[in-house]
Amino acid sequence: MIEKVLIANRGEIALRVIRTCKALGIKTVAVYSDEDYNSMHVKQASEAYHIGEAAPSKSYLNQEKILEVMMASGTDAVHPGYGFLSENDDFARLCEKNKIIFIGPKADSMNLCGDKMKCKDAMLKAKVPTVPGSPGLVTDADDAEKIANEIGYPVMLKSVYGGGGRGIRIVNNDKELREGYESVTGESIAAVGKSAILVEKFLEKTRHIEYQFARDTHGNVVHIFERECSIQRRNQKLIEQTPSPIVDEETRSRVGELVRNAATAVDYTNLGTAEFLRADNGEFYFIEINARLQVEHPITEFVSGLDLVKLQLDIANGEPIPFKQSDLKMNGYAIECRINAEDTFLDFAPSTGPVPDVTIPSGPGVRCDTYLYPGCTVSPFYDSLMAKLVTWGQTFEESRTRMLAALNDFYIQGVETSIPLYKTILNSEEYKNGELSTDFLKRFDMIDRLTTDLKKEKEEKSEAAIAAAIIHSEYFKSRVQSNAANNSNWKYNLD
Amino acid sequence: MIEKVLIANRGEIALRVIRTCKALGIKTVAVYSDEDYNSMHVKQASEAYHIGEAAPSKSYLNQEKILEVMMASGTDAVHPGYGFLSENDDFARLCEKNKIIFIGPKADSMNLCGDKMKCKDAMLKAKVPTVPGSPGLVTDADDAEKIANEIGYPVMLKSVYGGGGRGIRIVNNDKELREGYESVTGESIAAVGKSAILVEKFLEKTRHIEYQFARDTHGNVVHIFERECSIQRRNQKLIEQTPSPIVDEETRSRVGELVRNAATAVDYTNLGTAEFLRADNGEFYFIEINARLQVEHPITEFVSGLDLVKLQLDIANGEPIPFKQSDLKMNGYAIECRINAEDTFLDFAPSTGPVPDVTIPSGPGVRCDTYLYPGCTVSPFYDSLMAKLVTWGQTFEESRTRMLAALNDFYIQGVETSIPLYKTILNSEEYKNGELSTDFLKRFDMIDRLTTDLKKEKEEKSEAAIAAAIIHSEYFKSRVQSNAANNSNWKYNLD
Amino acid sequence: MDYKITDIEKSFDGKIVENLGNNDYVIKINDNEHKLKIISMNSTGIEFILNQKYHKAKYLDQSTNEINIVIDNVPITINRHTHFDEVVFKHSGGAGAGNAQLSLKSQIPGKVVSISVAEGDSVKKGDVICTLESMKMQVSVKAHKDGVVKSIKIKETATVAKGDPIADIE
Amino acid sequence: MDYKITDIEKSFDGKIVENLGNNDYVIKINDNEHKLKIISMNSTGIEFILNQKYHKAKYLDQSTNEINIVIDNVPITINRHTHFDEVVFKHSGGAGAGNAQLSLKSQIPGKVVSISVAEGDSVKKGDVICTLESMKMQVSVKAHKDGVVKSIKIKETATVAKGDPIADIE
């Protein structure tokens, strides 16, 4: 039985794992870089070990150092979170070799999932439909061009080692293909030191729909419903919801069956996610398996009632999944907004720095997973996800309106956030009607609409802003004109 | 349709009502006393009106002033919360007269519920069992003594105008009865200006089990399951949970049917709670109807998935309840701990003052309804309930362990709280086994056990405390011994 | 005073009409009077109730003629058509009888950001002698008379109190 | 220094063994050495990591021989068997060569809580001259020599800086 877990991660996901461990009486070990002395995961864990410099390569990606801490702290198991080492099969293998339970799939299975080519092969054998494209790796840009012309532009160039939006390029003609080939190769080498590229048909007006699944060491496998994650920017998810507005019970079961087959085909253990493109014609095409806990897992927790981290621990302990597929019932509607530190108007450029003040929303059906606290810092060294705001409702409308109210309550001083954009999106008729697709932002001019909404907000707040300016000005004037000591008009000292 | 609601209350319940109104796009009007300028409900409402001095009688109980604000602000409806004017039928009548929707039962029905004698009569007619006692009001202390001797001591003296633990006294003999009669009369007159007393058999090892119910203006009535609220001090609830560990599905339906009859018997509209004593022999005795939203409503929201404030608004709008009894399914387990500002070791005396720092717990299955924020003040003028910490789990054990983790995370600087006591209770075998009764604290020596737990905690933290003291002392010494300016040992300035 | 919000192309005339005590004020924006109650205030922000509605504002990047406010989470830049420099000038002895006095005094407390003259320089009434930062705003202190700077009494980055001498001008 | 936690009837000997720089220290409690890293610190509290475990402590109601700490939400009262007064005394000129000096100087900055002597009083070395409050602790300043209080240089409620004269004793 796992009694002590090292969390090889930081930020909100480290806190998320700690929370379940605490409730289960499992000890936790945090690791932290120079940048994270003052971070919440250090404060919440049973123990915390410093592992190096701020740059991920010198701390959160340093396998040897993390192994050293696991040995020193006597941990039984490691939870990798998402990102960092979570889908690194070398690290999983290193843990296996040192008799530390890696909370995730076995290294071989992870390797298979991570290799888009081999994975596609496995899916074809398991009769899980995949997107038309190169049967395997392309040999070079010439080969890529040949295949692109066979299946027809636009096509997508994907690094086998990419993920989460990185190492992907959509190209519309031979010229773009050659440029894209170069940059995808470069990005992949910069990130993981190697590159290998696939070509796939790029489908338009597609939806990104993924399935949570779980498979135990006894071969039991369940899917835990779909999540629709179509609202994205630069292939990065922004808003997720479950159920998907276009998945009915029949589709849910039918595709869910494919997902169970997919998990078995790669001999997957623990929790994973099977991602699909859902084409405008209703077809589902398998894209890849994310071999880890997803950022957006809380919406699945809301509608299933499950604690997915607890389920991960159970499976890692070798226990059978404590329920059957038929026991799972979807209850209500959940939405997640990823609250990023970024400037929507600067092409989502990261916005970092100290956060002197924060108000975290709460209320019935509201959950906020975040590392923010008043006085914390948003670091430029790590990803821009500050918080995950998740709401549940008995109806989609209830979850949506609760999300809007919570977004309004969410106050983060000091950095730009994606909150205003989400308010515009959630208020739009297109979102309400479920007209989702991965090009949603562009398709419905959301950035322009945000500009309009912000101007309207400024109009509404102008009188109050002027009032604040009047008080500020008059106070200043009064200080100049009379002695501060006997200025009884003002009880406030602005120094 | 209600478009603007005045909340004739303060604290967490005002915020709770505002939250649902915001999600539904309904405007809210807050009222506040001199003590509450800086309170969260003032900040969160669409509008806020000052209504008088800190003492409740000069503000939150001032019906004329509140009516004036309702007229000035153009509100359609008033939500009374709990306490204050929530069960005052004169106020309900005043609203009715002025064409303002009172979100609660009609004045006549409220009057009937509030009059314990008439209510008991109505229940007897509706075949809802009640506790043995005086058939109606007792005429004087002599009459009370006569009845007490008929039904046998211990008996309970209850003011018809009491509630929530006030205006109740348990007496064991004639002498105590006469003293109790005096003090219950006094308390009742002090609180509402009048007094009328009932005598009832006091049952031992009883459980306090209550039912949430809703009845609409069309006569549809549902019960929304039970809540067990047996853990109390001085007849004030501390911890509530649903389902009750001793209510099975058969009992739930059978007593639920009585509850529906009870609601109909008093022509109740909107949400209410029927309170029962459950005797050790398994019998349920009706005690009273609480004609308002209860403090502990969130646990019912968790297991039913309903937004009870939304349901209140629907019913107040004259809409039929949008579901049938058979649609309601209980999902999981919920616990509420009332986080009070009080000193357990000073007989739960109130502890008030500024709260410079607060950490509100969060996480999957955790909800915290509170008015606390860093820099707020706990006022001596109002009740001691600072926060309601509520957790949900698929199993009772999951809700319990989540509660313990959340209690550990909850940090409130500046006032004494009931948090340590709750940790002791939730860790006890008796609580885990569901051995609940209204004398739980005394029966299982919880205060003594708390003392032991606190000592153990101090042992565990002693080394860290000494470390903090060493740093403090050494810093002080270094300041005395060397010039602060060139004291390079210390980067910290403690002034 | 005149205020302008460029983003929405609107101008406002605003002032305090009356201080009612107990932190209550009557302010006037254009032609309308409003009730305003200050709940709390410091150099970085203000919480207030305006016409029965609570607002929270943070003051960022203030200068004499521009102030960036985040009000209820909405960032708004306000231009002030103000005469702060003139107010400071006047009260530093720049107007009327003070003309004969030797010493130029600071009428506000602040930090010395820059000194624009050297000892021995000839200055004209209204020339900038130094710039102070106060309440995060930069304010120029100007010569109250024509003359020669005999001595400078301040240093850069030092703090001056209200009434402290800035320079002697003869 | 000796520390005692009365509630659990335990005594501890504690000190800083080494300052490793970068906010890292080695401390010793009884016979065991511990690694301690200060994350943040001010007059009201400290956050630190002790042996790989984070702790947050608030300092409440401090005096020279007692300190109330809330550590990780647990209130603990610690008695210090300390010689702070003596430390102050020694550094105020109370020991050794300083005996000849006229002026008694404050070795800590603080607020004057009370003055125990009047001008003209005869005092003996070690008599309390005044009490200062510093870091929320009350500290006595004692005469560094026998003599007569010639003049008192401080006032009650005033603030003194380190090195400020307290009194002249001749």
Residues 6+ apart with CB under 8 A from A285: A129, A130, A131, A203, A276, A277, A278, A279
D residues 25-54 near A, CB within 8 Å?
37, 39-40, 47, 49, 52-54
Task: Inspect the interface and report whether the beta carbons of A38 and D54 lie closer than 8 Å.
Answer: no
Highest-confidence segment of A166-170, B59-63, C115-119: B59-63
pLDDT at D103: 85
Helix or strand (DSSP H, E) at B400? helix B396-409
CATH topology of domain A4-103: Rossmann fold (3.40.50)
> How far separated are the first and last CA of chain B, in Å rounded?
58
Task: Enumerate the residues of chain A whose CB falls inside 8 A of the CB of residue D54.
Answer: 42-45, 48
- Confirm whether pTM is higher than 0.90: no
CA distance A216 to A311: 10
pLDDT at D88: 63
Q: Note the ipTM here.
A: 0.81
Give the tens place of pLDDT for each residue, A223-252: 999 999 999 998 899 999 999 999 999 999
Mean pLDDT of chain D: 84
Task: Inspect the interface and report whether the beta carbons of A305 and B24 lie closer than 8 Å.
Answer: no
Task: Inspect the interface and report whether the beta carbons of B48 and C53 lie closer than 8 Å.
Answer: yes
- Does A395 touch chain B if contact means CB atoms closer than 8 Å? no
Which range (A212-226, B253-267, D98-112) has the least confidence?
Answer: D98-112
Task: Inspect the interface and report whether the beta carbons of D40 and A38 lie closer than 8 Å.
Answer: yes
Give the tens place of pLDDT for each residue, B269-304: 999 999 999 998 899 999 999 999 999 999 999 999
Which range (A155-169, A472-486, B196-210, D137-151) has the least confidence?
Answer: A472-486
Contact A265, A271 (CB under 8 A): no
* pLDDT higher than threshold 60 for residue A483: no
Give A74-87 as a DSSP string: T-SEEE--SSTTTT
- Residue whose C-alpha is closest to residue A132's, from A277, A280, A282, A255: A277
Whole-number Cα distances in Å, B49 to B22, B44, B73, B90, B380:
18, 13, 9, 22, 21
pLDDT at A488: 44
Which range (A240-244, A349-353, A443-447, B330-334) has the least confidence?
Answer: A349-353
Instruction: Say whether B16 is catalytic.
Output: no
Active-site residue identified among B16, B169, B233, B292 = B292
Give the tens place of pLDDT for each residue, A15-50: 999 999 999 999 999 999 999 999 999 999 999 999
Q: What is the mean pLDDT of residues A121-140?
A: 90
* pLDDT higher than threshold 90 for residue C87: no
CA distance D78 to D2: 10
Task: Inspect the interface and report whether the beta carbons of D56 and A43 lie closer than 8 Å.
Answer: yes
Which range (A185-189, A345-349, B394-398, D9-13) has the least confidence?
Answer: A185-189
Residues 6+ apart with CB under 8 A from C64: C80, C82, C84, C85, C137, C138, C139
Domain boundaries, chain D: 14-79, 103-169
Positive or negative: CA dihedral D94, D96, D99, D102: negative
* pLDDT higher than threshold 90 for residue A110: yes
The C-alpha angle with vertex A201 and arms to A195 and A204, in degrees rounded to 5, equals: 120
Helix/strand/coil (H/E/C) assignment for every residue in B56-74: HHHCCCCHHHHHHHHHHHC
Contact B277, B131 (CB under 8 A): yes
CA distance A488 to B334: 55
Contact A222, A274 (CB under 8 A): no
* pLDDT higher than threshold 80 for residue B258: yes
B residues 412-471 near D, CB within 8 Å?
413, 454-455, 457-459, 461-471
CA distance B201 to B208: 15
Provide the CB-side half-sphere exposure for A258 (13 A, CA): 25
Task: Inspect the interface and report whether the beta carbons of B38 and C39 lie closer than 8 Å.
Answer: yes
* pLDDT higher than threshold 80 for residue C142: yes
pLDDT at A318: 98
Q: What is the mean pLDDT of residues A358-377?
A: 94
High-pLDDT (> 70) share of chain B, %:
96
Q: What is the mean pLDDT of residues B466-488?
A: 70
Chains D and C touch (3+ CB pairs under 8 A): no
pLDDT at B244: 98
Environment class of C157 (CB within 10 Å of its CB; exposed 0-12, middle 13-18, buried 19+)? exposed
Mean pLDDT of chain A: 93
Q: Where do we find the tokens 């398994």?
A: B282
* pLDDT higher than threshold 70 for residue B423: yes
CA of D152, closest CA in chain A: separation in Å? 29
* pLDDT higher than threshold 50 for residue B176: yes
Mean pLDDT of chain B: 93
Who has greater pLDDT, A482 or C69? C69
Which range (A265-274, B312-321, C27-36, C63-72) has the least confidence?
Answer: C63-72
pLDDT at B147: 94
* pLDDT higher than threshold 70 for residue B480: no
Give the tens place of pLDDT for each residue, B5-61: 999 999 999 999 999 999 999 999 999 999 999 999 999 999 999 999 999 999 999
Which range (A117-126, A188-197, A441-450) has the least confidence?
Answer: A188-197
Closest residue in chain D to residue B408, using alpha carbons only: D73
Contact D60, D45 (CB under 8 A): no
Whole-number Cα distances in Å, B84 to A329, B14, B40, B52, D142:
42, 12, 18, 14, 59
Task: Inspect the interface and report whether the beta carbons of C57 and A413 lie closer than 8 Å.
Answer: no
Q: What is the mean pLDDT of residues B375-400?
A: 96
User: How would residue A485 be classed by pLDDT, with cut points 50, 70 and 90?
Assistant: very low
Q: Which residues pair with D149 in a beta bridge?
A: D169
User: How would residue B194 be classed by pLDDT, with cut points 50, 70 and 90?
Assistant: confident
Chains A and B touch (3+ CB pairs under 8 A): yes
3-state class (DSSP) for residue D159: strand
Give the tens place of pLDDT for each residue, B79-136: 999 999 999 999 999 999 999 999 999 999 999 999 877 898 999 999 999 988 888 7
Please tell me chain A's helix, strand, coil percentages from 3-state DSSP, rounded to the nearest 5. 40, 25, 35
Q: What is the CA radius of gyration of chain C?
A: 19
pLDDT at A481: 57
Bond before A243 cis per omega within 30 degrees: yes
pLDDT at C135: 62
Q: Which structure tokens are listed for C33? A: 């009077």
The C-alpha angle with vertex B366 and arms to B294 and A272, in degrees rounded to 5, equals: 145
CA distance B29 to B44: 9
- Residue whose C-alpha is closest to residue B303's, from B273, B328, B339, B266: B328
Q: Where do we find the tokens 């080939």?
A: A181
Q: What is the CA radius of gyration of chain D?
A: 19
Residues forming CATH 3.30.1490.20 domain(s) in chain A? 132-201
pLDDT at D141: 85
3-state class (DSSP) for residue B37: coil
CATH topology of domain A207-449: D-amino Acid Aminotransferase; Chain A, domain 1 (3.30.470)
pLDDT at A282: 93
pLDDT at B186: 84
Q: Other CB atoms closer than 10 Å to residue C118's CB: what's the count?
A: 8
Superfamily assignment of B132-201 in CATH?
A: ATP-grasp fold, A domain (3.30.1490.20)
pLDDT at B148: 94
Residues forming CATH 3.30.470.20 domain(s) in chain A? 207-449
- Residue whose C-alpha is closest to residue C79's, from C63, C92, C93: C63
Bond before A129 cis per omega within 30 degrees: no
* pLDDT higher than threshold 90 for residue C89: no
pLDDT at B119: 92
Give the tens place of pLDDT for each residue, D69-93: 999 989 999 998 766 666 666 666 5
Contact B226, B243 (CB under 8 A): yes
Q: What is the mean pLDDT of residues A300-318?
A: 98
* pLDDT higher than threshold 70 for residue B355: yes
CA distance B363 to B407: 12
Environment class of A433 (CB within 10 Å of its CB; exposed 0-12, middle 13-18, buried 19+)? exposed
Residues 6+ apart with CB under 8 A from B5: B17, B21, B26, B27, B28, B29, B75, B76, B77, B78, B79, B103, B313
pLDDT at D136: 62
- Residue whose C-alpha is closest to residue A352's, from A396, A415, A408: A415
Q: What is the mean pLDDT of residues C91-107?
A: 65
Pick the CATH number of D103-169 from 3.60.40.10, 2.40.50.100, 3.30.360.10, 3.30.70.60: 2.40.50.100
CA distance A375 to A360: 13
Q: Choose, out of A36, A47, A51, the residue to mutate when testing the contact with D (most D CBs < 10 Å).
A: A47
Q: DSSP H helical segments within B154-219, as ranges?
A: 174-192
* pLDDT higher than threshold 50 for residue C97: no
Q: Choose, out of D37, D51, D52, D55, the residue to mutate when testing the contact with A (most A CBs < 10 Å).
A: D52
